Structure 1
Amino acid sequence: MNIKELQYFKVVCEQKSITKAASVLYMTPQGLSKVMKNIEAQLEASLLIRTGAGVQLTESGKYLYERLPELLESYQSICSEIRCIEQRQNHEIDLLSAYGILRLVTPECIAQFKGEHPDIRFQYREYPDQEVVRRLVSGEGNVAFTVGDWEAKYLNSTFMERFQIKLLVYRGHPLSQRKSVTIQDLKGEPLYIESSEFHVQRLIVDRCRAAGFEPNIVFETSGFSLCHKMVSKKKGISVTVDFIFDDMKDENLVMIPFSDGEYCWDTYMLTRNGNTDNPDIQIFHDHVMKWISKVQKNPGLR
């Protein structure tokens, strides 16, 4: 039994289902079930009661789950500080980015940084919004771009840009002539949307439930592009943000603002709140923020 296995156990407890937890962790249910049985074998205890509806915690399972936060936070703090030291010494920028944000920041921004600072090793990887934060907290990367509300210890954040989330329909759809819509207009509509690992789905689902109904999600994707494609084929509706819509340049699509509140796609740059300062991270941070300011004044650069 190791720390990662205990982190998996925590996700199973939160999801109340091995199948749902496996989806969040990008594992097979069989593989995750094997990990749970391994933990139980090493502790010589039954932790989970498996039912048709999911899993329930035994008394021993509840005891372990209640004490996991302190254990995991202490471990993550140690990993965070050690990783900070190593990355500072290696002059390394390891960027974890939520899908879509590099398109927002633009490849030119990254290319210019690499050209101006050849002594800094730069690499990046892309993941869903929530996965980015999980990986940064667990010790991967040292800079992250992500979307939406977040709460995590040991992280600093810098607000980057805000975009309004808007409804996406095809021309000819009954809503396509509307100047604005409300969340109620989604009721019963076949909805193509990014998965629950993305801020946009959590926001839309929460708003629908607050309005008294469940959204009719027919397909979950890992990005806006497929949502645009399916709406263009008149398979359903979706949601999007301005710069993605402009980038797609699809004349068959119409974007409509919501009039019943703020529907925001907020982007943040996150860094680990370690005790060891990394001047290379500050250089990258300043470069990105300066570039975003430049693009906001001259949108044509994007």
Structure 2
Amino acid sequence: MDIKDLKVFQTIAKEESITKASRILYMTPQGISKIVKNLEAEMGCLLFTRNKAGMLLTESGKRFLEYADKDIADYYQVKKDILHIEQRQKKVVDLLSAYGIIRMVTPDCIAEFCRRYPDIEFHYREYPDLQTEHLFAENEGNVAFSIGEFDEELYHVVPLESFPVKMLVNEQDPLSKCESVTIEDLKDRPLYIESSQFTIYHMIMQKCKEVGFQPDIAFQTSGFSLCHKMVKANKGVSVTVDFVFDDMKESGMRLIPFSDGIYEWKACMITRKEEAENEAVQCFQQFIQEWIEKIKRGEIVR
């Protein structure tokens, strides 16, 4: 047996169906059935009972699943550990970034880093905030950009920039005349907001919960652009940050600060403490910090 066989067995056990497992694994049912028969022959037992309810684990099958789960997890962990060793030796930066942060850091920053350090291999993937954090916690990548607070016992955390989260309204909305708003001004208003995979969603939901109401979420999206479009059409309100608003360059809308607490979009760069030995990662960290300082000093226009 090999890892592929164990993965097939694990999938059948979870789905309780060869047909469902075949769709997930992009294999034929016949191919999957053959692997099961080979495993049963090798182990000298029935791993599944087959009836109208589907493929159900026998007692021996349940014990074998414990082994399969552990062996599969160990295999993928070893692969990730070896990948990190290879990345360190080959000078690789593997960046995971939450949506929006490259817009803040600017694509020119990444292009300049690659130009200045051609001997460093650079990889980049972009996800919603919480997915980025989950993948990084699962040992994907060796550098991450994300939003929020992070465990400094696990990670080396470098704050990049923080921006106040503000309410975005159409100039025809009565709120556009206000100098500031509170979370209660969202009550009974259609709200366009990033989805639950983003920190900003949970921030707003928590603030609303604290004052005792559920916001009227008209639509959840994967980015700020749709929120801006719907507010421009005066379909409702949204929440965003200054640099995104400035990038959109849309007329007819206003950003209004909240006056009833701290609403902060805090971008950070995180690395695992064991990545301290990776010279390429160290170089990238230093370059990003210097770039952000140049933006703050006005030497680079975002």
TM-score (norm 2): 0.74
Q: Any idea what the Cα deviations from partners look like across 1:12-40, whole Å, max 9, x if unmatched?
A: xxxxxxxxxxxxxxxxxx96xxxxxx9x9
**Equivalents in 2 of 1:194, 1:75: separation in Å?**
36
* Aligned residue in 2 for 1:157: 157
Deviation at 1:125, TM superposition (A): 1.1
**Equivalents in 2 of 1:73, 1:154: separation in Å?**
21
Decide whether aligned partners of structure 1 residues 276 and 169 sit closer, same or farther in structure 2, where only a CA change above 3 A counts. closer
Q: Any idea what the Cα deviations from partners look like across 1:148-172, whole Å, max 9, x if unmatched?
A: 1344874322111100000000011
Q: Give the conservation status (yes or no) of the 8 Å contact 1:84–1:274.
A: no
Deviation at 1:74, TM superposition (A): 8.8
Q: What are the within-5 Å matches in structure 2 for residues 44-59 of structure 1?
A: none
* Aligned residue in 2 for 1:298: 298
Q: Give the conservation status (yes or no) of the 8 Å contact 1:164–1:264.
A: yes
Decide whether aligned partners of structure 1 residues 202 and 112 sit closer, same or farther in structure 2, where only a CA change above 3 A counts. same
**Equivalents in 2 of 1:228, 1:245: separation in Å?**
8
**Equivalents in 1 of 2:205, 2:116: separation in Å?**
43
Matched pairs, number: 250
Q: Give the conservation status (yes or no) of the 8 Å contact 1:84–1:276.
A: no
* Aligned residue in 2 for 1:26: none
Q: Give the conservation status (yes or no) of the 8 Å contact 2:142–2:275.
A: no
* Aligned residue in 2 for 1:204: 204
Q: Give the conservation status (yes or no) of the 8 Å contact 2:150–2:157.
A: no
Unpaired segments ≥5 residues, structure 1: 10-29, 32-37, 48-63
Decide whether aligned partners of structure 1 residues 258 and 123 sit closer, same or farther in structure 2, where only a CA change above 3 A counts. same
- Higher Cα radius of gyration: 2
Is 2:118 the partner of 1:109?
no
Is 2:272 the partner of 1:272?
yes
* Aligned residue in 1 for 2:239: 239
Pairwise CA RMSD of aligned residues? Answer: 3.1
Deviation at 1:130, TM superposition (A): 0.7
Q: Give the conservation status (yes or no) of the 8 Å contact 1:79–1:138.
A: no
**Equivalents in 1 of 2:247, 2:255: separation in Å?**
13
> Which segment drifts farther, 75-84 or 206-215?
75-84
* Aligned residue in 2 for 1:258: 258
Is 2:155 the partner of 1:180?
no
* Aligned residue in 2 for 1:99: 99
Decide whether aligned partners of structure 1 residues 244 and 262 sit closer, same or farther in structure 2, where only a CA change above 3 A counts. same
TM-score (norm 1): 0.74
Letter in 2 for 1:108: D
Match of 1:83, SS state, is helix
**Equivalents in 2 of 1:129, 1:146: separation in Å?**
6
Unpaired segments ≥5 residues, structure 2: 1-5, 15-22, 25-47, 49-54
* Aligned residue in 2 for 1:50: none
Q: Give the conservation status (yes or no) of the 8 Å contact 2:98–2:128.
A: yes
Q: What are the within-5 Å matches in structure 2 for residues 206-225 of structure 1?
A: 206-225=206-225
Q: Give the conservation status (yes or no) of the 8 Å contact 2:172–2:234.
A: no
Is 2:133 the partner of 1:142?
no
Q: Give the conservation status (yes or no) of the 8 Å contact 2:275–2:281.
A: no
Q: What are the within-5 Å matches in structure 2 for residues 58-97 of structure 1?
A: 81-97=81-97
Q: Identity rate of aligned residues, in percent?
A: 45
Q: Any idea what the Cα deviations from partners look like across 1:183-235, whole Å, max 9, x if unmatched?
A: 01001110000001100000000000001001111100001111101110111
* Aligned residue in 1 for 2:131: 131
* Aligned residue in 2 for 1:56: none
Decide whether aligned partners of structure 1 residues 275 and 296 sit closer, same or farther in structure 2, where only a CA change above 3 A counts. closer
